[in-house]
Amino acid sequence: MKEKVYVLDTNIILQNLQNLYKISDNKTNHIVIPETVLLELEDKKKLTNELGFYSREFARLLAKMKIKELDYKTGFKVVKLYDDDININIISKDRYDTSIEQIHISESNDKRIIEVASIAQEYFKGCQTIFLSLDVYARTFALFKGIKTETLHDDKSTVPKFNFLKSLKLDSSLFNSLENKDIKLVDDNYEIENFSYSFESDDGNIEYATIVNGKIDILKESDFKTLNIKPVNLKQKLFCKAILSNMFDLLVVDAKAGSGKTLMSIISAMRLIDLGLYDKIVYVRNSIESLDKGAEVGFLSGNDEKFRIYNMALYDTLEFIAKKHLKKSENRENLESISSKVEELQTKYCIETLWPGEARGRTLSASIVIMDEWQNSSEKTTQLILSRLDESCMAIVIGSNRQIDNLYLNKYNNGLTTLLKQTSQTHSELKMFAIELEKAVRGKFAEFTERIFENKNQ
């Protein structure tokens, strides 16, 4: 079998530095880093977000490596570095065929990286040269030059089908004794990921329940009587019941747009604070805005004007709740009244927002931490945020694998999917709950777009 030479695009390093060690495979493969990749990483070193973190980590890796050889060839140079685990070849051309166009700098950089891949193909003659990138356009440029391309193999991993809400047929005689019964006595095929149940009988009896510590907890309308805004469909009710029970440490929700995931999280969290079980709500949103703007925005207090600009999803939710709180005698359309009520809610429930890049060094206590848009977060960011929480916290992770905006992630390797996969087993450290919210409650426009755009190929 031919030795392999992997020429890496910048996004491979920024996705996860551990990729280098997997690709190296105990030094059985050659790794080539084009000079242009170093320049792109240098640009990102000062960022306080995850991209900056991996850029700095790569710089630290290079600093620890030893120089094996400096190979000067006609038209290019090769710096060969090594340590105990990996060999890296950095290649620089003396003169590039592609000129830098500021308005198309990304494309110009891609083409310069491909030029180095062509050199690597000649330099490592007899080996199979592969250009590795998450970017399909960059891979296409490489194909034009006759270079074999691949993306990360985690793109091809499977996302299991989850059965968070299980339907089960039962005899009518069992319904009166379901409450607090061991689920394994009712369902011989119970699995850890069956967090909720729909029990039905042939004669029309039906009950819904969550499973708490292996026991059946029947869903009742009285569960939500203290909520100012009530859940409107079954899955919303099961989600709210799980939060309000305060029996789960980590709740994970994969939900369609307009399904009410943020609203249900906030109103349930507010109720737990009213009961004195927690002190505050910390809202963490990882989106394209946070990747691009995190360094500028930093930590935001609840009443900061920037809070509204970069956290409109949360602000819209608070505005909706504020309108519900306003008495009929007050003008619910009066902007000053609404704004005043929103500020009151932020103060009463100590609502803070936190950018992932600002979490290092912090410890969160007695907090309900809502991690929104988590399909745009990597495993590293997920670890960063969750490791900030002490034992007095609850974490609610919400997102949608239908709306991934992060160039470096896909539905197979993001933080939301990783946590969803963890629901198939028990964990000694904490108790998990998960559910999928599928029904749009935002209204006719959300339902229309779902029917037209999401279902058109089905």
Going along the chain from its start, the domains and CATH numbers come out as: 4-156 (3.40.50.1010), 157-219 (2.30.130), 232-442 (3.40.50.300)
pLDDT of residue 229 exceeding 90: yes
Which pLDDT score, from 0 to 100, does residue 360 have? 80
3 state DSSP class of 426: coil
Quote the mean pLDDT of the chain: 88
3 state DSSP class of 205: coil
Which strand ranges, in their side-by-side order, compose the sheet holding 367-372?
351-354, 280-285, 367-372, 394-399, 250-255, 432-437
Which pLDDT score, from 0 to 100, does residue 293 have? 41
Dihedral angle, C-alpha 212, 216, 222, 226, nearest 10 °: 0
Classify residue 378 as exposed, middle or buried by CB count within 10 Å of its CB (0-12, 13-18, 19+).
buried
For residues 112-140, average pLDDT: 95
Higher pLDDT, 455 or 90: 90
Residue 299: pLDDT band with limits 50, 70, 90? very low
Strand partners of residue 4: 128
Which residue, among 356, 374, 362, has the nearest Cα to 295 in the 3D structure?
356
Spatial CB neighbours of 370, under 8 Å, sequence gap ≥ 6 = 262, 265, 266, 269, 281, 282, 283, 284, 396, 398
Residue 297: pLDDT band with limits 50, 70, 90? very low
Please state the separation of Cα 299 from the chain's center in Å.
20
What six digits make up the tokens of 392? 């007095």
Distance, CA of 173 to CA of 257 (rounded, Å)? 40
Strand partners of residue 209: 197, 218
pLDDT of residue 94 exceeding 70: yes
Contact (CB, 8 A) for 124 and 30 = yes
Q: What is the pLDDT of residues 42-77, one digit of tens each?
A: 999 888 777 888 899 999 999 999 999 999 999 999
Give the least confident one: 159-168, 214-223, 273-282: 159-168
Residue appearing with tokens 């250009």: 131
pLDDT of residue 193 exceeding 80: yes
Q: What is the pLDDT of residues 263-287, one digit of tens each?
A: 999 999 999 999 999 999 999 987 5
For residues 222-249, average pLDDT: 96
Which of the listed ranges 123-132, 158-167, 318-327, 395-404 does the model predict with the highest average pLDDT? 123-132
